[in-house]
Amino acid sequence: MSKYWAAFVSVMLLLATPAVAANWADGFKTCDADGNGTVSRVEWNACESKVGDPTMNPTFTMMDKDTSNSISQAEWDAGAKQKMAIAKGCTASDSSWCPCQNNPDDPACQK
């Protein structure tokens, strides 16, 4: 009986898990909740944690280069470079803001 109970609980937990992007590139589709081809500020706020550690992600304002209050696919793609720059700055940092200080083995902290 306990084997069936464990399987049931596992399925229930998986069903309650929100969609998480496998990587930054997949994150655009995850964040574009209404499917209009852009990510609005509201959509970004709702999904930022699904595309990695929010302390390692570029901000909405950093990505919204044309100040349209939405992020296009091209702006999102440029955000990947910003994300890498933040990660590299983080690993080189000796400040406490950097989550890599306490978690150097975290994949987001790798060079």
**Is 16 within the bounds of a domain?**
no
- Cα–Cα distance measured from residue 45 to residue 94, given in angstroms and rounded to the nearest whole number: 28
Q: Is the dihedral of CA 71, 72, 76, 81 positive or negative?
A: negative
Q: Is 70 exposed, middle or buried (0-12, 13-18, 19+ CB in 10 A)?
A: buried
- Three-state DSSP state, 68: coil
Extract the tokens encoding 96. Answer: 């406490």
Which pLDDT value is given to residue 110? 60
Domain that holds residue 105: 21-109
pLDDT at 4 over 60: no
Contact between 104 and 94 under an 8 Å Cβ cutoff? The reply is no
**Is 28 within the bounds of a domain?**
yes
pLDDT at 18 over 70: no
**Is 33 within the bounds of a domain?**
yes
- Cα of first residue to Cα of last residue in the chain, in angstroms, is 47
**Is 99 within the bounds of a domain?**
yes
Is residue 49 very low, low, confident or very high in pLDDT (cuts 50, 70, 90)?
Answer: confident
This prediction's pTM: 0.64
Could you report the per-residue pLDDT of 51-86, keeping only the tens digit for each?
877 777 888 999 999 999 999 999 999 988 888 887
**Is 4 within the bounds of a domain?**
no
pLDDT at 50 over 70: yes
Per the structure, how many domains does the chain have? 1
Residue 78: CATH number of its domain = 1.10.238.10
**Is 27 within the bounds of a domain?**
yes
